[in-house]
Structure 1
Amino acid sequence: MIKDAIEDIKRGRPILLFDSDDREGETDIVIPAISTTAKDVAMMRKDGGGLICVSIHPDAAKKFDLPFITDLLKKLENNGYSNLLRVVEKEGDLRYDSKSAFSLWVNHVNTFTGITDIDRSLTIRELGRAVKDVLSGKSFDFGSEFRCPGHVPLLRASDNLIYERRGQTELSIALAEMAKITPAMVVCEMLDDISGKALSKDDAKRYADDKGLVFVEGRDVIDEYKKRRERGVL
């Protein structure tokens, strides 16, 4: 199943990715950013219902000077916003991990409001193109192409990916690396309209079967990624 997921990612097809039972216990719809269409965004907001975010490889995030939002907010203390420090995430605040991956929220400069399916897909594709360009050695001026605040949250993957953190952010970038595509991936949590919670793993699997999509578990991504790293093929 993991190899099927990698092949579909390589072809730009959506897959379903479950992190783990002892973490968030959530299934995300995952699509390569560079090939995301307005129809894909519509599918994610209707069938997923969670945040539609873009995971970015740590090397690209560094070249863009993208901070973790927690680090950025901590710098406000000396600029007259000391009370805001009370809302900044602290160690132990999260029940599912040691830290979150959130960076900035952006719109591409050619969007209108930024929230429509067309606008968000444009921002997402351009983020994919930006990551591709900067990792290929081309110069890229992030501030000339994107504006903040916006409607597409960026997730900065941890430096050592799944060896450091095993969230959907790192798992999706690990999949991109194994598929040898641009490591910028759209992720969107699947929610349950009835329970108000995350969609159960069983229901997510049924959805995958109904739609002809691959369902893969985070542990399988981790195992395959480690094997390929040990063999030196990554």
Structure 2
Amino acid sequence: MIDKAVKALKDGDIVLIFDFDDREGETDFAVRADAVTPEIIARMRNDAGGLICTAIEGRIAEKLGLPFAGDALSGTNLVEKIGDIPYDSANHSSFSLFLNHRDTFTGITDNDRTLTANKLAEHVKKAANGGSPTFAEEFRTPGHMATLRANERLLDQRRGQTELSIALANIAGITPCITICEMLDDKSGRALTKEDAKKYAEEHNLIFIEGSEIVEYWNRTKNN
């Protein structure tokens, strides 16, 4: 399944990534940010229903000046502490800043969020090659696209949807900037079950992959 997921991600298709039964137990839509379209954003809103975020490789987020939200808000009394997150007590949240591209209007429309995602991917690609000095000139915060900063050790340290999607991007050899959205269940008020996420994937001819498959491949090939 890893080969099919890699191909789908390369092709700009939506891939469904389930993390782990003993973690969030959630499935996310994942698509390369440079392939995001207004139709994909609308599908994320309507079919997934969670928070639309864009994950960025950690070292590149650092180059772009995107801090962890907890670090940026360290002067307040609201910042999470180690142990606050029930499904991952050893790590902090991957949230960074909420951004809009400066050419957006409100930033929330499907067109606006598409522009923000596409431009984020453009700058991540530039930064990966040593460039992107204009990042702060092109983006503003607060905004409507949540950015996520992957742990720099990726799956060797943290195994959240942020790291799974960026690890899959690295395996695919594409720009490590992936737009993701959790799949929620209208009836239960909870995350969509793994079984229902698999059913959705089958009905819509999409690839469903479990985090364990990505981790297994990562561990087997990371030193090659």
Which TM class, normalised by the smaller chain length?
over 0.9
Secondary structure class of the residue paired with 1:106: strand
Instruction: Please say if 1:53 is aligned against 2:74.
Output: no
Query: What are the Cα deviations for residues 62-106 of structure 1, in whole angstroms up to 9, with x where unaligned?
Result: 1012110101111x2xxxxxxx31x11011111011311000000
1:222, distance to aligned residue in structure 2 (A): 0.6
| Structure 1 range deviating more: 167-176 or 90-99 | 90-99
Q: How many residues matched?
A: 222
| Alpha-carbon separation, structure 2, partners of 1:200 and 1:157 | 25
| Alpha-carbon separation, structure 2, partners of 1:139 and 1:19 | 32
Matches within 5 A, 1:10-89: 10-74=10-74, 76=75, 84-85=76-77, 87-89=78-80
Partner of 1:211: 204
Q: Which runs of 5+ in 1 are unaligned?
A: 77-83
Match of 1:148 among 124, 135, 141: 141
Identity %: 50
TM-score normalised to the size of structure 2?
A: 0.97
Partner of 2:121: 128
Partner of 1:172: 165
Give the RMSD, CA atoms, in angstroms. Answer: 0.8
| Alpha-carbon separation, structure 2, partners of 1:140 and 1:197 | 41
| Alpha-carbon separation, structure 2, partners of 1:88 and 1:95 | 15
Higher helix proportion, which one?
Answer: 1
| Alpha-carbon separation, structure 1, partners of 2:145 and 2:115 | 10
Larger Rg: 1
Q: Which runs of 5+ in 2 are unaligned?
A: none
Instruction: Please say if 1:119 is aligned against 2:112.
Output: yes
Partner of 1:199: 192
The amino acid that maps onto 1:56 is I
Instruction: Please say if 1:96 is aligned against 2:66.
Output: no
TM-score normalised to the size of structure 1?
A: 0.93
